[in-house]
Amino acid sequence: MPVGVQPSLNPFDEADKTRTDKISTLSGKMQRLQIGGQYGLKCRLKKDNRFGWQYEPISITALIPQSKESQMIYLKSLISEDVANNLLAAYPNIVEDVVSGKVDEIDYSKVKGVQAFTWNRIKEKIFDNYIMSDIIVMLKPLGVTFAMIKKLQNEEPNAALLKQQLLDNPYIMTKISGLGFKKIDDLAMKLKPELYNSLERLVAFTRYYLSELGDGEGHTWVSESILKSAISNNVPQCMEHMDRLFASDSFLHCEDGKVGLKHYYNVENKICKLLIDKSKQISNISFTDEQIENAIKVAEEEQGFEYVPEQRKVIYKTLQNTVSFITGKAGTGKSSIMRAVLKAYQMNNYSISACALSAMASQRITEATGFPASTIHRMLGCQGEGKFTFNEDNPIYSNVVFLDEGSMVSSSLFLALVKALSKNTRFIVSGDHKQLPPIGYGNTFSDLIDILNKECVNNLTKPMRQAAKSGILSDANRIRENVNPVTENAQPKIIHGELKDMYYMFRNNREQLFKIAVNTYLKSIETDGVDNVVIAVPRKKDCLNSTSELNKVIQNKLLPDETRFIKLNDTEFRVGAKVMQTVNDYEKNVFNGEIGYVTDIYESGKTKCCDVKFAENKKITYQLKELEQLDLAYAMTVHKLQGAGKQTVIGIIDNTHYKLLDNCMLYTLLTRAKKRCLLLAEPQAFSTCIKTSHNRRNTWTQLGD
């Protein structure tokens, strides 16, 4: 937030060089500043294209008020003037006394007007302002922000105790994601060099290494030998504590030469136990053959085709079991089957809750089955990270809960959903275990298919009659099995399928791929509309064929004359732009994956805002700083697009995407297309995708098979 700055010379006012009481604008990222607080500022002069010259903060240090007058100004922002006077009369250096730890020497009960609530509020504000300022200055070399420190405060709300914990063991900063162990380690060695060969340092590195392995690559365990090698390469001075490390069960789970975070093990183990137990329960829900046949008949009439014997068998099994998993390659009719299953529940007056991870995936449930669906977070009533209205103490009382695109769901969220199922609720999960695995640790859907009782698992193998004609589906399923579908010699364009719906264009020039993708996109939206066409790529940024670069160019092409825009960092949003919500915002009631359009840009007070219209005429207002929640949505990453379906999909893969090239990614990309797919690729990148599989993960669940 902007605050007043009083420099000795105002560089913004060329006309008046004589004034010394200048007020200028301080703008940029900073900790929360308190009214009445005094701050020492280190700033740089910066010219904003819209607002002119401003000061951008480099560092901000809270200054403890020394005089009675300055303390009064500060205290008046917290309490009434009379109470502030009473407090200062009893304790003339009250602010400094609190900051320096002399709280126990202060008897607030002797001060007129100061009750326990008031005193605790004063202490909290002083701690937040001054001690948090000290913490921020201390951690400044790491690039730590106030938002990052607030994550540590979730575990230790008392700012004074948090500061002491940081000084005692700086390695607690490994709980902050995105910093990297090397940065934390360097600062820790400066703050407390005696930790050089300590167990604390070893524990910190181990926790960091296993967390990175889980969040980055999905593995929940690693062999002891690999872990020892990583320790030897990074903190060799701590090797003497290895036996104590492995003997500790406080945060590690060790089993048969494998080691991982206990939290990962507990989550995976709990999911398995709950679902195995539920699968053995006898449900009070039942269907007669006649009821099932009636539902099948209605679904067939709605869809315009009949189910094949394999599909009918799965429909019957799913309606008879308490827990059902449905998987199969593209075109085998997973969504079609669910239309009949859900129809049977509906026609017999059973309650249904349908969900998926993203807003786009939940929308596809509705398109495919005709039933309303929501995101998992919305269905569980998410109240913040890991906090849900519906849980084991307050379960969902629907007769059946249906989860689609189960392979997308992380282990932690999967557990939250399973824990929220009531005793009598049936659970149906559909998905394709050969698509991209979830972001984060574990591979729950794929693992459960292998370990659950075979009566609970339905693996579809036979393609629907309609699918056999599709080049998209037939080629995608070859890629799924690491088989190259392109056997032709090099040609400018290759077309596959009886429907002529799968196109390939191979080029060794990335600029050409980019240009063809943009031109094809612009032509495609003329016939299919902008809502039904998307460019899909593996990477979001840092290369030419990324969503950030593609979106920038396409917006310029579609909205060349639009002068109204709002900009955050390097991303500009113009009126009329297609955008996507990228995080769940429960206060605004808008969720990850929802697509909308910028309808207006304006100033509210001193803050620039924009309005975005989402589906069902839902209008959401974003202030400038909230634009981090949005991305332009003409091009999307394959991960973001997973679970969605578009009429036309234009895919690009090149060798700059090398870390993300595998058959799961390519298979997922192709199967997002309903009507036509154009794959633009460097030949080597395409070949790498066919030969590479990354969806296999080391998990504890897998070992339990």
Q: What is the pLDDT of residue 32?
A: 56
What band does 80 get if pLDDT is binned at 50, 70 and 90? confident
Chain-centre distance for alpha carbon 34? 31
Averaged confidence pLDDT in the chain: 87
Q: Which residue carries 């509309």 as its tokens? A: 529
User: Lowest-confidence range among 62-71, 113-122, 134-143, 658-667?
Assistant: 62-71
What band does 22 get if pLDDT is binned at 50, 70 and 90? low
| Tens-digit pLDDT profile for residues 277-334 | 999 998 889 999 999 999 999 999 999 999 999 999 999 999 999 999 999 999 899 9
User: Lowest-confidence range among 90-104, 355-369, 413-427?
Assistant: 90-104
What band does 64 get if pLDDT is binned at 50, 70 and 90? low
Tell me which H or E stretch contains 430.
strand 426-431
Maximum mean pLDDT: which of 104-118, 131-145, 181-195: 181-195
φ, ψ at 11 (rounded to 5°): -75, -5
Q: Which residue carries 């003409």 as its tokens? A: 634
Pairing between β-strand 374-375 and β-strand 352-356 as defined by DSSP bridges:
parallel
Q: In whole angstroms, what is the distance from residue 23 CA to residue 4 CA?
A: 6
Bridge partners of 612, per DSSP, are 598, 620
Q: Which residue carries 């997308």 as its tokens? A: 408
User: Lowest-confidence range among 349-353, 481-485, 623-627, 646-650?
Assistant: 623-627
Residue 209 has pLDDT above 80, yes or no: yes
Residue 650 has pLDDT above 60, yes or no: yes
Residue 19 has pLDDT above 60, yes or no: no
- Opening angle at CA 567, ends 564 and 570, nearest 5: 135
Handedness of CA 26, 31, 32, 37 (dihedral sign): negative
Question: How crowded is residue 607: how many other Cβ atoms within 10 Å of its Cβ?
Answer: 12
Q: Are 574 and 562 in contact (CB under 8 A)?
A: yes
Pairing between β-strand 533-537 and β-strand 646-653 as defined by DSSP bridges:
parallel
Choose among 527, 517, 532: nearest CA to 360: 532
Q: In whole angstroms, what is the distance from residue 27 CA to residue 24 CA?
A: 10
Q: Which residue carries 């639009």 as its tokens? A: 562
117 or 406: which leads in pLDDT: 406
Rounded average pLDDT over 117-132: 71
Q: What is the pLDDT of residue 106?
A: 80
Q: What is the pLDDT of residue 382?
A: 87
pTM over 0.85: no
Rounded average pLDDT over 475-492: 93
- Opening angle at CA 234, ends 228 and 238, nearest 5: 65
Q: What is the pLDDT of residue 4?
A: 40
Q: 215-253 burial string, b = 16+ CB within 10 Å, else e?
A: eeebbbbbeeeebeebbeebbeebeebbeebeeeeeebb
Q: Percent helix, strand, coil in the chain (nearest 5)?
A: 45, 20, 35
Q: Are 598 and 577 in contact (CB under 8 A)?
A: yes
Handedness of CA 347, 350, 351, 353 (dihedral sign): negative
Share of the chain above pLDDT 70, in %: 87
